[in-house]
Structure 1
Amino acid sequence: MRRQMAVELTRSGIETPALDARLLLCAALGVEEIALILAPEEKLSIEERDAAQAFLERRLAGEPVSRILGRREFWGLSFGLNDATLDPRPDSETLVETALRHFNAPEGESPRVLDLGTGTGCLLLALLHALDGAWGLGTDRSEKALRMARQNAAALGLERRAAFACADWGGAFCGRFHLVVSNPPYIPYADIGALQREVRDYDPHAALNGGEDGLDPYRVLFRQFGALALDGGIGVFEFGAGQETALLDLAERAALDVIEVAEDLAGKPRVMAVRRR
């Protein structure tokens, strides 16, 4: 059935038909990929075939595999998703890499990390996983997203080092953090309709919509950063295509020094690291 699924996905224009077919069939059967390799021709029960067909039809309709499975791997860790969370992307790992490259753990203190607009908690939890002894807070306006972030923290064994709070960015906090990170909404409102259907139809628009020019969240985040970061603390923010120059200007107006603009997997500017001047 895997070959049949791959053929139908290919006809539908799916970019990775063989991979998608393999992942969906494994999920339908409740087995690891090695089981398909060892017994590729094993006959399926009616129930297994129906489950695989249902997954296939959802994928043919444009639903991403990660949404169908309810999980996404990020930074080598597995994260649960729901309809209130953004689907973590590999490009966002650039933010984690950049944060770890520039962050110096304070001597004699436990590092404190703040993730604004945490969603699944993937940024915060990846950083806590990499930073021994660090403690972190993730904020989000969606209680449903926060429930998923808490579940992910527990599944990763990080629930004692991660807290989550319903808040509008960082306005309710001040001066407590060595590292502040965020992957805010940065798509201009008028551009959302032209996004790939996997993003447009399945990611929550609240996690995409950055206002008229896509920069509304940064106007808030850069202004708040000075009150959120301890002396010597750094901020690391993901941004969208073509926004680098505008963000450099916003950072200058907010009296922030830009440490680095890092490129994503495609070689495009994607992440900005800043420090309070």
Structure 2
Amino acid sequence: MSLPEVALLAAAGLAAGIVNAIAGGGSLISFPALLAAGYPTVSANVTNTVALWPGYIGGALGYRAELSGQRGRAVAFSLTSVVGALAGCVLLLVTPDGVFKALVPVLIAVASLLLAVQPWLKRRLSGSGRLNGRALLHAGIFFGGVYGAYFGAGLGVMLLGILGVFVHDDLQRVNAVRAVLSLVINTVAFAAFALFGPVRWYAVAVMAVASLVGGFAGARVARRLSPAVLRGVIVTFGLGVAVALAMH
């Protein structure tokens, strides 16, 4: 591996870790970098998933304070997300790539818009007495697990859009739970690809360390943003991800 290639992959891993900690969608930075470095598409895809996994650890660790008192919530949601992620791994093996990928831009855009209108929607539903959506919440988390294991770009936006509507709490605390769920879902995908995928481990060695640092740094940045600013950043980035994928 040449020095320019090392520099490219390290920079991409760092940037992807930061973006994933704040909003999700870091794969749109790291995956093209792997392609630019000359890796085949399939190898680049599985290598990217494995390499960015440490960044999700950094993101979750960066939200330790906001996770205080949320153990029960995080565990319950994580169990649902594991089931969804396992289903996503199976789906990846048995369905054509184009079927699910065609829906991805729409799904991310919907999740972004859901997050944008989340305060208004929560007030409307609460006022009408219809916000009793535990089953809907777990269904959404399950779907997030399926999506995250199968494709993953914009997973953070999708999860935060779902959690933001149904979980009554400060957005920063909700984002902390989102960071945990992103870690759980990507851990399942990491294990599947590490065991069965054509992973390029030398590229992982470079990107993994950088993504861990980026994840921790991104969480620290996100924690300093007000809820309104954080929501605006995530919605803007999520819609950008949707447009980028639609044009791909």
Task: Name which one, 1 or 2, has greater alpha-carbon Rg.
Answer: 1
Structure with bigger helix share is 2
Structure with bigger strand share is 1
**Shared fold by TM > 0.5?**
no
TM-score by length of 2: 0.29
TM-score by length of 1: 0.27
Q: Which has the higher contact order (CA 8 A, sep 6+)?
A: 2
